[in-house]
Structure 1
């Protein structure tokens, strides 16, 4: 266990060395008092090459061996979705702090298992929803407290990119790997609605499916007492990916790509005002710094994105998948 203010350099391990892990590792090397202590892949060659590229101290061809490394403080889990539960639980059992890629679990049952394990072992656990820590997102949430566009009435947000050239074996379409847009990218607009409005009173969702059987694109309507959220995710085309928030006295637009944007704008009767908030590196630095700070303070959660937040978010995604029939055989 960590003692408050005793750690100066946070030593990270990475499990699962795909594209997102590459970006994450690049940003780890941009954060002060942070070192990549070890990386693990089931391919020794891949682990070695990754370690060389990102200046990791050690590399492993076994996830288990990385978790046994006592010099590692915190593990970033970047495996495909269906492996999050297994390796998060094993990391927690090994007394490692854990930052697990979104979605934290495939469903609420899995997330509760992780929460209970982390609380039992008294170790840090957080879902890697990097957008929550993006400077633009932080600024938007702060700005909205002053009610700049009046009573909020509508959110429009999407996350779409073209992937129809990928085979049905690709992770985004492979049902055995929990493929489909909802958990992969649909989580982002649902997260935005949740962080702005909380839990809705009513959910309506509609999906269309890929030829291999996985969910291809989904429309979601979240109904609240005084406002609504219109959300969409798709692997069939690329959208503008702006997030638009409408109030009775104006609009707030988070510029493209909204989930990693460097700016937003207010449109009111007084005109348009642009606010720039550049992110560090690729954008993972802020999330990394949040974890590092929490560990240095001896905390087991980060207040801006708690385990309860992750549970409530996955419950919304559970209901969406239930309504459209995007359920996996292994659940």
Structure 2
């Protein structure tokens, strides 16, 4: 186990998501530096808020500092790949906000670059780091629930339809329901599925800006596990998921950062609440897992990220949705 205080973090993209990361950051690691290419004032304010000792004029200056071990990237979706590539070329490990890239081609290239340089590239996807999910799999084993049968996950963001230049609706920024929130549902399925998901069917209704608003999707895999998803960008809807096994099932409310689930035994009807972790430490778990990956040289989430990105890429291909950076 690495001594956590030896890991010095740099932050690129000090916006709202990065502020959540700063608030939940583990006390035994070090937020060492922060930079913004577009708003040095925002970087200064971020540093004051989280008592970060070093503020850089731009990303390049941060990446050039040999004291920084790992970079947390929280910029908009459209520039994730460029930011990750620059950090890896500078010899830094990377924890990048979801979606780690826009598509599978970008991700494969960056995974190879990270491997060539013996660096960790990890996606900051809460689903992969919350302690509840391994505990649910332990219940599956202990209670002999049998094989996974089906999954469902839904989410409705309730976005402002008039904000057509903001990151959620703007195709230039990699907007849309799938990349912003739908990725959580797909990651939930991949976390529990025992083989990579394959797209069976998907339909989408776009927004006025052309990004995906409403969608419904069915996937399966080589083990005959079935998953269904429904995403809304503009209408609000419950954040709810369930997983059905041969002899019982789990209901998970607020599954993006869950700290509890209801287990229902299909044989007795008995209900039990399963508890693990804390919602308000979700991004701290990401940082802890990243430090552990650096220490061991192993990224246990890499295959999940790659399989989920492959599925998202296939879904957008079926919809005919491409972003300007991909053309």
User: How many Å apart are 1:21 and its aligned residue?
Assistant: 0.3
Instruction: Measure the CA separation in 2 of the matches of 1:330 and 1:44.
Output: 25
Greater CA drift, 156-165 or 98-107: 156-165
In structure 2, the partner of 1:221 is: 218
Structure 2 residue 160 is the aligned partner of structure 1 residue 164: yes
Q: In structure 1, which of residues 39, 54, 60 is the aligned counterpart of residue 34 of structure 2?
A: 39
User: How many Å apart are 1:63 and its aligned residue?
Assistant: 0.8
Structure 2 residue 152 is the aligned partner of structure 1 residue 153: no
Contact residue 76 and residue 100 of structure 1 kept, 8 A: yes
In structure 2, the partner of 1:118 is: 114
Change (3 A) 1:74 1:166: farther
Instruction: Measure the CA separation in 1 of the matches of 2:15 and 2:191.
Output: 28
Query: What SS does the aligned partner of 2:324 have?
Result: coil
Q: CA RMSD in A?
A: 1.9
Q: 1:172-226 CA deviation, whole Å, 9 max, x = no partner?
A: 1101111111111111111122222232354211111111211112111113453
Structure 2 residue 197 is the aligned partner of structure 1 residue 200: yes
In structure 1, the partner of 2:59 is: 63
Contact residue 154 and residue 229 of structure 1 kept, 8 A: yes
Contact residue 32 and residue 68 of structure 2 kept, 8 A: yes
Query: What SS does the aligned partner of 1:283 have?
Result: helix
Change (3 A) 1:292 1:154: same
Contact residue 11 and residue 72 of structure 2 kept, 8 A: yes
Structure 2 residue 55 is the aligned partner of structure 1 residue 79: no
User: How many Å apart are 1:54 and its aligned residue?
Assistant: 0.8
In structure 2, the partner of 1:271 is: 270
Contact residue 39 and residue 56 of structure 1 kept, 8 A: yes
> What TM-score results when the alignment is normalised by the length of structure 1?
0.91
Contact residue 140 and residue 146 of structure 2 kept, 8 A: no
User: How many Å apart are 1:230 and its aligned residue?
Assistant: 1.1
Structure 2 residue 9 is the aligned partner of structure 1 residue 12: yes
In structure 2, the partner of 1:231 is: 229
Query: What SS does the aligned partner of 1:286 have?
Result: helix
Instruction: Measure the CA separation in 2 of the matches of 1:61 and 1:265.
Output: 48
Query: What SS does the aligned partner of 2:249 have?
Result: strand
Unaligned runs of 5+ in 1: none
Contact residue 8 and residue 296 of structure 1 kept, 8 A: no
User: How many Å apart are 1:237 and its aligned residue?
Assistant: 2.2
Instruction: Measure the CA separation in 1 of the matches of 2:306 and 2:242.
Output: 25
Q: 1:41-60 CA deviation, whole Å, 9 max, x = no partner?
A: 12121111110001111112
Contact residue 132 and residue 138 of structure 1 kept, 8 A: no
In structure 1, the partner of 2:317 is: 322
> What TM-score results when the alignment is normalised by the length of structure 2?
0.92
Instruction: Measure the CA separation in 2 of the matches of 1:91 and 1:201.
Output: 32
Q: In structure 2, which of residues 129, 132, 137 is the aligned counterpart of residue 136 of structure 1?
A: 132
In structure 1, the partner of 2:284 is: 285
Greater CA drift, 33-42 or 271-280: 271-280
Instruction: Measure the CA separation in 2 of the matches of 1:193 and 1:294.
Output: 23
Q: In structure 1, which of residues 250, 253, 257 is the aligned counterpart of residue 251 of structure 2?
A: 253
